[in-house]
Amino acid sequence: MTADAGKPQDKIVDAGGLRTRYVERGDGPAVLFLHGGSLGSSADVFLRNLPAFAHAGFRAITYDQPGFGLTDTPTDHSVRFRRDHVLAFMEALGLKQAALAAHSQAGGMGVQLALAEPDRITHLAILGTGSLLPPLESTREAEGAAQQRLERRMATHEPTLDDTRKLLEANLFHHELITPDELALRHARSIGGCFEAFVARSSADAPAPKEPAAKPLWQRVADVRQPLLMIYGREDRANAALRAERLKELYPHLDLHIVAGCKHLVPWDAQAEVDEMTTRLLSRAPARA
């Protein structure tokens, strides 16, 4: 299934005062798909996944977060604002409960919401979220510095079509998935207002430092009571596979899978695994709050 096959129509809703674009398929219990924070990310990341969830009896919904895609750009560019906007979006659609499937940066948002809103978040699938993996002491500083350099470089100029292709290739194992239509769509979500919002997010003030005794978010994953699934690509960046194996050693009860032939764009590289494992996760009864 490609992202264009049977593509549903865009819908617009006012969520927390922001004009928010979303697409959906199917009827039944709601599943919200949350894209990551990289340049070009949008609801379109999950279009290829929606049909399988609709066929399995779910209302599958993916939307552009604030400052991404066709959704309005807010004045607050923090991850916290985007996290809280998930609840505003649920309110706008009249959803009392929903499961979350969260990619990359959104995985941290998903864990925070699952812990804070156990009556509203029923299930959680984490897809390639590196911040939810234990750091490797020997490479922590090097990885952090490399990531900062990458973010600074990406925020200096609006990408060309070739830049967009290179960014996709860096995050995707199966380059054959980068069709001309997919590349054009990703590029459209990387320029203009989307790029301006990306620059604003990159230059936003850093969050306040945590209390020294605060538990790292990757350790709090084990505190999630809802049915939880974690999927990582074996070829993902920053030693993700090794760190995922370490997390599994520390918390053997976690339903954690490492997929070969998969980089960071897990919903594309591991589409079959994401669809099958996550729909199976959703068949489990939610934990009581």
Give CA separation, 218 vs 36, 134, 156, 205, 247, in Å: 17, 6, 31, 23, 9
Would you state the pLDDT for residue 4?
45
Q: Which CATH architecture has domain 11-282?
A: 3-Layer(aba) Sandwich (3.40)
Q: DSSP secondary structure string, 53-87? A: HHHTT-EEEEEPPTTSTTSPPPS---HHHHHHHHH
Query: What pLDDT digit, counting tens, does each position of 205-216 carry?
Result: 555 555 556 789
Check if the beta carbon of residue 39 is closer than 8 Å to that of residue 259: no
Residue 249, both tokens: 């050693």
Least confident of 8-12, 33-37, 266-270: 8-12
Confidence category of residue 141, pLDDT binned at 50, 70, 90: very low
**Which pLDDT score, from 0 to 100, does residue 146 have?**
52
> Which pLDDT band, with edges at 50, 70 and 90, does 204 fall under?
confident
Q: Are 120 and 98 in contact (CB under 8 A)?
A: yes
Q: What is the pLDDT of residue 17?
A: 97
pLDDT confidence of residue 128: 98
284's CB contacts (< 8 A; 6+ apart) are: 123, 227
Q: Read off the pLDDT of each residue in 267-279 and give the average, rounded to a whole number.
A: 98
Q: What is the 3-state secondary structure (H, E, C) of 158-201?
A: CCCHHHHHHHHHHHCCCHHHCCHHHHHHHHHCCCCHHHHHHHHH
Instruction: Please state the pTM of the whole predicted model.
Output: 0.92
pLDDT-derived band at 148, boundaries 50, 70, 90: low
Is the backbone of residue 192 left (phi > 0), alpha (psi -120 to 50) or beta? Answer: left
Average pLDDT, rounded, for the chain? 91
Among 59-73, 183-197, 208-222, the range scoring the smallest mean pLDDT is 208-222
- Report whether pLDDT(169) > 70: yes
Q: What is the mean pLDDT of residues 122-140?
A: 89
Q: How far is CA 221 from CA 36, 108, 117, 186, 256, in A?
A: 18, 9, 14, 31, 11
- CB-CB contact of 173 with 235 (8 Å): yes
Cite the beta strand spans of the chain per DSSP E. 11-15, 18-25, 30-34, 59-63, 98-103, 121-127, 228-233, 256-259
Give the alpha-carbon dihedral of 73, 14, 48, 173, to 10 degrees: 20
Handedness of CA 272, 273, 275, 279 (dihedral sign): positive
Q: What is the pLDDT of residues 232-262, one digit of tens each?
A: 999 999 999 999 999 999 999 999 999 999 9
